[in-house]
Every structure is written in structure tokens, then in C-alpha cells.
Structure 1
Amino acid sequence: MTAAQEPRIAPLPKAEWSPEMTTFMAEYRSAAIGDKPSTGRQSGANLLGTLARYPALAKPFLTFNGHFLYGSTLSARQRELLVLRVAAVQRCGYEWAQHSILAADAGLEPEEIARIERGPSASGWSAIDGALLAAVDELLGDGAVSGPTWTALATEFDEHQLMDVVFTVGMYAMLAMALSSFAVAAEAALVPYLPAPE
């Protein structure tokens, strides 16, 4: 999505949310953020406002999404490696902008975040980080994790973690499709930077 493109589905202003949706969103954000102070850098307001137009979809979707934000067996760093690789492969500026902040909060260095777009073959990744990035490329390209990548992941991850890898990629690939198709704009405080296509 370019900066000048208008949203195809405009976010519903918070003042127009139903009381049920307002309560649900507050509970969702509280669970996702926990006790961390809000910096205003990663609000997700435009996405949440867009979803608020369709409460019957928003509530089950965000409940499912909540697992990956605060219930996953993967570490926050591992999750953000997966999500940013999805955003880079699918060229989703909104997802990249939001999750670059979450990745930094999870301990990824700026150089590592920038290197994600170069993929699993870029020098500097540990074996497990490279396998996580490879899993994203394989899932998005072929619909399955390859045997060698699965074996590499299984040396460190248990069954629940392996399942979380696959579902995290699927979840954020689906979200990237929605964000790009609805032309959801990054909030003004965010820079929807994505590395240039190869």
C-alpha cells in the first residue's frame, strides 16, 4: 500500500464502537500488553478500528490472535522473527511497521531487523533463527515446512512450539493479506518501512 492510498474499509472511530466491542477491545489490549506502559508507538488503532466494523469476525479473530501475542510457547523474539519475515515476503508495510517495534522490544537489534528481509541465507543467523526464517519461506511458498527445516527446528522445539511456528506464520500471513487488501494505513507515529524488493 502506498502512503497516498485511501483505506478501502475506513476504520470505525472509537466513539462509534458498540459498548460490547469497546469492552472486548479493552480486554484484548490489556491481555496483549499486560503491565507494560504504553508508549503510543504501537497502537494498532487503524487495524482495530477496521475490525470494529465487523464484531462477529473481530472477536473470534482477535481471540485467536491473542494466543500468538501472549499465549504462545515461542519466545517473543522467535515470534517476531517469524512475523517480520512474513511481512517482508508479503510486502505488508503495516505489519512491518507494527512488528518492528515489537521486535525491538523483544530484544532484536536494528541490524537483525533489517537483515530479516534478506532471509534465512543471510550471514549472521544462528542455526535456529535461520530455520525459523526458512520455515516462513517454505510455508508461504510451498504450503509446508520441508523435512530438513523441520528436523532443524525439532532439535530445539517441542511439539507445541512446532505447532506454534506453523500457526504463527499462517496467522500473520492471513493478517497481512487483510491489511494489504483493506489498505489499512499505518498510524501517523509509525514509519511503514519495508526494504526494497530484490
Structure 2
Amino acid sequence: MKESLGTVLDTVRKESGPLGQAENMPLTFARHPELLASWLPLMGFIAYGGALPSRMRELVIARTAWLGQSPLNWVTHIYPARHTKGGKEGGVYFTEDEVAQIIVGPSDEGWSPQDAALLAGVDQFYKLGDMDDETWKNLRENYDEKQIIELMYLVTNYRMVGDIVRTLRTDFGPDFPGLRQR
């Protein structure tokens, strides 16, 4: 398991840069090595691959982080995407305006219809565990079935991570920027 955890930390560092005490998240999860080993393949697939383009995937994760008030998810996705040359994952970069839009959500008038549909799906699925017919229709007009399924997996997974680290009182230290330094 130490090798697997090392691989996870290396991937986190590669994708997000040095995270300092944010690395306590995988260390916390490693307290249950069998569960961590079972979860890693799913996490790796939905976080770094899959059918959703990188920008769409990061929008889903960022909005989920905001809705759940998850400093870990926010800082490990928004912060690198704002502060690295070329953005995260070779091109995902959120401007200050986009970060403000992510916080407002799908009702912000600056979103394209495609982005607004995606974020409406995130909001409804996060809050209700379901989507109304209009949201589903808008998603189907802009995304294929695999992408919509991934949206639901991303929301569920990143909500779970935020809830677990909060509930287990994972220590990220006093210098962890979190949501206050959006």
C-alpha cells in the first residue's frame, strides 16, 4: 500500500504542485488501505480521464467544491488552475471572472449555454440527488450519455471526499488557503 500511496502523492503533486499539508488527505484515507486501494482506480479515471473534456471536468469539480464548502477540493483544483502557467492539465485555466462565476453558479449570465447546462446539472444533482426534466434535456443537448454519467460520478465522488476529510477532521495546517483565499 505504501507504493500505491506514493503513486497517489506523486500524481497529486504532478497535477497540482506542492500541496504541503493537503497531502494529509491521502494519508487519512490510507488508514483503511483496502478501501483506498478499491477507490483509487475510480478516482483516477474520473479525475484524470474519461469522456468529459478537462475544462468541463474541472468546472464540475470546482462547483461541487464550492457547494460543499470543501477547502481541500477547492484549493487542489481552483488554485492550481489559476496560478500555473498554462493552467492545470495542459490548458485548464480559470480567470478571476470565471472563479466568480463558479461561485455564483449556473445563473451567472457569463456562462455559455453548454457551461450553464453543466453547472445546472451539478447544482441539482448535488442538492437533490436528481435532475428535473428541463435540466436533463439541456444536458442531453450539449453532452453525450457517458459525459452526463461522469458528471454524476464526479459530483458524488468530490462531495464524498470533502465530507470525509471534514468529518475526520483532517488537518491541513494553518497556512492552507482554502475557500477564504479564492
Shorter-chain TM band? 0.7 to 0.9
Q: Percent identity?
A: 28
Number of residue pairs the alignment of both structures matches: 174
Report what 1:5 is aligned to. Answer: none
Bigger-Rg structure (1/2): 1
Which one of 111, 116, 120 corresponds to residue 130 of structure 1? 116
Instruction: Confirm whether residue 56 of structure 1 aligns to residue 34 of structure 2.
Output: yes
8 Å Cα contact 2:21-2:172 kept in structure 1: no
Which one of 95, 98, 107 corresponds to residue 73 of structure 2? 95
- In structure 1, runs of 5+ residues without a counterpart are 1-20
Could you say if the C-alpha distance between residues 184 and 110 of structure 1 is closer, same or farther in structure 2, counting changes exceeding 3 Å? farther
Could you say if the C-alpha distance between residues 107 and 144 of structure 1 is closer, same or farther in structure 2, counting changes exceeding 3 Å? same
| C-alpha separation in 2, matches of 1:37 and 1:181 | 25
Cα distance, 1:194 vs structure 2: 4.5
| C-alpha separation in 2, matches of 1:25 and 1:89 | 28
8 Å Cα contact 1:28-1:63 kept in structure 2: no
Post-superposition CA distance 1:74-106 (Å, at most 9, x none): 112111111111111111122211121344321
8 Å Cα contact 1:85-1:119 kept in structure 2: yes
8 Å Cα contact 1:86-1:173 kept in structure 2: yes
The structure richer in helix per residue is 2
| C-alpha separation in 1, matches of 2:4 and 2:110 | 42
Which one of 58, 61, 73 corresponds to residue 51 of structure 2? 73
- In structure 2, runs of 5+ residues without a counterpart are 83-87
Task: Kindly report which structure 2 residues correspond to 1:111-126, keeping only aligned pairs within 5 A, or say none.
Answer: 111-126=97-112
Cα distance, 1:38 vs structure 2: 6.9
Cα distance, 1:44 vs structure 2: 4.1
Report what 1:24 is aligned to. Answer: 4
Cα distance, 1:71 vs structure 2: 2.2
| Partner SS, residue 164 of structure 2 | helix
